Amino acid sequence: MSKIPATLFDKVWDAHIVRSIPDGPDVLFIDRHFIHEVTSPVAFLGIESRGIPVLYPERTFATADHNTPTIHQDQPVKDPLSAKQLAALSGNAQKYGISIWALGSPKNGIVHVVGPENGITLPGMTIVCGDSHTSTHGAFGCIAFGIGTSEVEMVLASQCIMQPKPKKMRITINGKLGKGVLPKDVALYMISQITASGATGYFCEYAGEVFENMSMEGRMTVCNMSIEMGARGGMIAPDETTFSYVKGRDKAPKGEAWDKALAYWKTLKTDADAVFDKELVFDAANIEPQITYGTNPGLGTGITNTIPKATDVKDGEASYKKSLTYMNFEEGQPLLGKKIDYVFLGSCTNGRIEDFRAFAQVVKGRKKADNITAWLVPGSHIVEEQIKKEGILDILNEAGFELRQPGCSACLAMNDDKIPAGKYAVSTSNRNFEGRQGPGARTLLASPYVAAAVAVTGVVTDPRELLGEG
Site for other proteins in 195-224 (CB under 8 A): 196-197, 200-201
Residues 6+ apart with CB under 8 A from 78: 69
Residues 6+ apart with CB under 8 A from 127: 30, 31, 32, 33, 34, 115, 121, 134, 137, 142, 143, 144, 145
Please, what sign has the CA dihedral across residues 352, 355, 360, 361? positive
Dump the DSSP string for 332-353.
T-B-TT-B--EEEE-HHHH-SH
Q: What angle do CA 353, 355, 357 make, to 5 degrees?
A: 70
Q: Toward other proteins, which CB reaches closer, 5 or 316? A: 316
From candidates 187, 225, 372, 413, binder to other proteins by CB under 8 A: 413
From candidates 73, 99, 157, 302, binder to other proteins by CB under 8 A: 157
Give the shortest CB-453-to-other proteins separation in angstroms: 27
Q: Toward other proteins, which CB reaches closer, 164 or 248? A: 164
160 is an interface residue for other proteins by CB under 8 A = yes
Query: How crowded is residue 38: how many other Cβ atoms within 10 Å of its Cβ?
Result: 21
- Give, in order, the Cα–Cα distances in Å from 137 to each of 124, 220, 258: 10, 7, 19
Q: What angle do CA 392, 396, 398 make, to 5 degrees?
A: 115
Q: How far apart are CA 464 and CA 457, in angstroms?
A: 13
Q: Toward other proteins, which CB reaches closer, 10 or 151? A: 151
From candidates 412, 444, 460, 466, binder to other proteins by CB under 8 A: 412
Give the shortest CB-124-to-other proteins separation in angstroms: 8
From candidates 270, 296, 380, 409, binder to other proteins by CB under 8 A: 296
Q: Toward other proteins, which CB reaches closer, 130 or 218? A: 130
**What pairing do the DSSP bridges indicate for beta strands 26-29 and 160-163?**
antiparallel
Sites for other proteins among residues 226-245 (CB under 8 A):
227, 230, 232
Per CB under 8 A, the segment of 69-77, 148-156, 350-358, 461-469 that binds other proteins is 148-156
Question: Using DSSP, how many helices (H) and how many strands (E) does the chain show?
Answer: 16, 18
Please, what sign has the CA dihedral across residues 212, 213, 216, 219? negative
Q: How far apart are CA 465 and CA 181, in angstroms?
A: 12
Q: How far apart are CA 89 and CA 84, in angstroms?
A: 9
Q: Toward other proteins, which CB reaches closer, 28 or 456? A: 28
First to last CA, the chain: 52
Q: Toward other proteins, which CB reaches closer, 18 or 285? A: 18
Give the shortest CB-2-to-other proteins separation in angstroms: 26
Q: Toward other proteins, which CB reaches closer, 6 or 162? A: 162
Q: Toward other proteins, which CB reaches closer, 399 or 444? A: 444
C-alpha closest to that of 383 among 362, 367, 360: 360
Per-residue mark of binding to other proteins, 84-123 (x: CB under 8 A): xx--x---------------------------------x-
Residues 6+ apart with CB under 8 A from 278: 167, 168, 169, 170, 202
Q: Toward other proteins, which CB reaches closer, 196 or 274? A: 196
C-alpha closest to that of 372 among 392, 335, 345: 345
From candidates 12, 77, 154, 216, binder to other proteins by CB under 8 A: 154
Specify the amino acid at residue 271: D
- Give, in order, the Cα–Cα distances in Å from 5 to each of 173, 193, 225, 356: 22, 29, 28, 41
Identify the bridge partners of residue 278 per DSSP, sorted by sequence position. Answer: 169
277 is an interface residue for other proteins by CB under 8 A = no
316 is an interface residue for other proteins by CB under 8 A = yes
Q: Toward other proteins, which CB reaches closer, 109 or 146? A: 146
Specify the amino acid at residue 392: I
Sites for other proteins among residues 4-63 (CB under 8 A):
18-19, 21-25, 27, 29, 31-32, 38-39, 41-42, 45-46, 50, 52, 55-56
From candidates 97, 104, 164, 334, binder to other proteins by CB under 8 A: 164
Give the shortest CB-80-to-other proteins separation in angstroms: 9
From candidates 186, 436, 445, 455, binder to other proteins by CB under 8 A: 436
Sites for other proteins among residues 53-82 (CB under 8 A):
55-56, 66-67, 79, 81-82
Q: How far apart are CA 360 and CA 279, in angstroms?
A: 37
Sites for other proteins among residues 323-382 (CB under 8 A):
none
Give the shortest CB-23-to-other proteins separation in angstroms: 4
Per CB under 8 A, the segment of 149-157, 367-375, 394-402, 447-455 that binds other proteins is 149-157
Q: Toward other proteins, which CB reaches closer, 19 or 176? A: 19
Site residue total, other proteins (CB under 8 A)? 80
Q: How far apart are CA 436 and CA 457, in angstroms?
A: 25
From candidates 10, 65, 131, 354, binder to other proteins by CB under 8 A: 131
Q: Toward other proteins, which CB reaches closer, 31 or 288? A: 31
